[in-house]
């Protein structure tokens, strides 16, 4: 029951983490953390990772937990709404980073993201995801378990013991290699070109067959959350570690 509660909250937490949904917990990453070279997506992922706990603190914990439990039972309606709300805020918060990505990948500067340009963008996004996704998952699981335990202790009229938080940290540290391995397995199974072509269609808001700068700025993060659904990745990791519904 404790794992089921933590699983549900972690799934809701995944909805709050805007991009990734697909790298240790709480920060870091980028050049110098083991990847071969810095990615243009590092700043975006780093900002999102740093904001996981802050954004979760802004949300109603009980609503988030209920949404996560519903998703664990097969109804992801509330999770999707949490994702949509957070992505909308993220797009505004990360406008500078999105502008930099557009400038980098609109290589001919014609104001249109071509099929080849978008494929290059998605391949780089995937490369950065392999570094950052485990980091995001660890932080998300940590926050999810803390919220679940805090709510349980509050219902019993007590406080969350510091030694229990220390135990959670120890458990997650022990799980890091498995989280990394499963995240890489999930991401390695993605057909980058197919996903890129699908994302290009989804970003084309007016259906004219082209993705211009405003469409990219307003839709890129939501499309990435949809295509690289963080909830699906966290569920895969939890199932591989024996935390699934069964």
What are 171-219's pLDDT values in tens digits?
778 878 888 888 888 888 889 999 999 999 999 999 999 999 999 999 9
Cα radius of gyration (the chain): 18
Q: Output the six-digit token pair for 244.
A: 């699934």
Average pLDDT in the 79-100 region? 79
Mapping DSSP onto H, E and C, the string for the chain reads CHHHHHHHHHHHHHHHCCCCCCCCCCCCCCECCCECCCCCCHHHHHHHHHHHHHHHHHCCHHHHHHHHHHHHCCCCHHHHHHHHHHHHHHHHHCHHHHHHHHHHHCCCCCCECCHHHHHHHHHHHHHHHHHHHHHHHHHHHHHHHHHHHHHHHHHCCCCCCHHHHHHHHHHHHHHHHHHHHHHHHHHHCCCHHHHHHHHHHHHCCCCCCCCEHHHHHHHHHHHHHHHCCHHHHHHHHHHHCCCCCC
pLDDT of residue 32: 35
50 and 27 Cβ atoms separated by less than 8 Å? yes
Task: Fill in the DSSP letter of residue 94.
Answer: T
Q: Which residue has the higher pLDDT, 208 or 79?
A: 208
Lowest mean pLDDT among 51-60, 98-107, 148-157, 223-232: 51-60
pLDDT-based confidence at 94, cuts 50/70/90?
confident
10 and 78 Cβ atoms separated by less than 8 Å? no
pLDDT-based confidence at 43, cuts 50/70/90?
confident
What are 119-149's pLDDT values in tens digits?
999 999 999 988 888 888 778 777 777 777 7
pLDDT of residue 165: 72
Distance between CA 135 and CA 157 in Å, rounded? Answer: 33
pLDDT of residue 183: 80
pTM to 2 decimal places: 0.68
Give the number of residues written for the chain.
246
What are 2-36's pLDDT values in tens digits?
333 444 444 444 444 444 333 333 333 333 344 44
Mean pLDDT of the chain: 75
pLDDT of residue 206: 93
Distance between CA 30 and CA 153 in Å, rounded? Answer: 37
In three-state secondary structure terms, 93 is: helix
Distance between CA 86 and CA 52 in Å, rounded? Answer: 11
pLDDT of residue 154: 67
Residue listed under structure tokens 């950065």: 128
């Amino acid at each position: 029951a404790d794992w089921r509660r933590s699983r549900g909250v972690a799934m809701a937490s995944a909805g709050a983490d805007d991009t990734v949904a697909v790298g240790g917990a709480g920060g870091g990453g980028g050049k110098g953390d083991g990847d071969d070279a810095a990615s243009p997506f590092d700043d975006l992922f780093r900002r999102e990772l740093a904001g996981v706990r802050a954004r979760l603190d802004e949300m109603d914990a009980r609503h988030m937990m209920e949404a996560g439990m519903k998703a664990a039972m097969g109804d992801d309606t509330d999770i999707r709404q949490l994702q949509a709300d957070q992505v909308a805020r993220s797009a505004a918060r990360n406008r500078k980073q999105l502008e930099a990505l557009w400038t980098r990948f609109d290589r001919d500067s014609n104001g249109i993201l071509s099929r080849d340009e978008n494929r290059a963008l998605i391949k780089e996004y995937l490369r950065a995801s392999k570094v950052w996704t485990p980091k995001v998952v660890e932080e998300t699981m940590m926050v999810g378990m803390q919220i679940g335990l805090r709510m349980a202790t509050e219902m019993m009229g007590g406080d969350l013991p510091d030694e229990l938080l220390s135990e959670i940290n120890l458990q997650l540290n022990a799980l890091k290699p498995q989280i990394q391995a499963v995240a890489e397995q999930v991401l390695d199974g993605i057909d980058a070109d197919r996903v890129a072509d699908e994302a290009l269609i989804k970003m084309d808001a007016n259906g004219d067959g082209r993705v211009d700068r405003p469409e990219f700025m307003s839709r890129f993060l939501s499309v990435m959350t949809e295509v690289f659904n963080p909830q699906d990745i966290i569920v895969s990791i939890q199932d591989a570690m024996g935390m699934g519904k069964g």
